[in-house]
Amino acid sequence: MTLELNFAPAPSGGTDYLARALHWTREAREEHERMGFREGWTTTTDQLATLAQKIARRDDGRA
């Protein structure tokens, strides 16, 4: 499997994030889906956003 992560400035501010997993076979993709791959990455990106917000507040002197 290959994972591609892209981060880019969002037009309205903030950051656009795109994660793309490229599996070698359909079966591998389906197995990862059954294992909760999508939900796991959703949780991970939510945690990353929370951390980034905390860092931004700290750097702005608000935390």
pLDDT for res 56? 87
The set of residues, in sequence order, having a beta carbon less than 8 Å from that of 18 and lying 6+ positions away, is 4, 5, 6
pLDDT tens-digit profile, the chain (63 residues):
898 999 999 999 888 989 899 999 999 999 999 999 889 888 988 998 899 889 988 888 765
pLDDT for res 59? 85
3-state secondary structure string, 23-43?
CCCHHHHHHHHHCCHHHHHHH
pLDDT for res 62? 67
Contacts from 23-26 at CB under 8 Å and sequence distance 24+?
Answer: none
Confirm whether pTM is higher than 0.95: no
pLDDT for res 15? 85
User: What are the residue boundaries of the structural domains of the chain, listed by start?
Assistant: 2-53
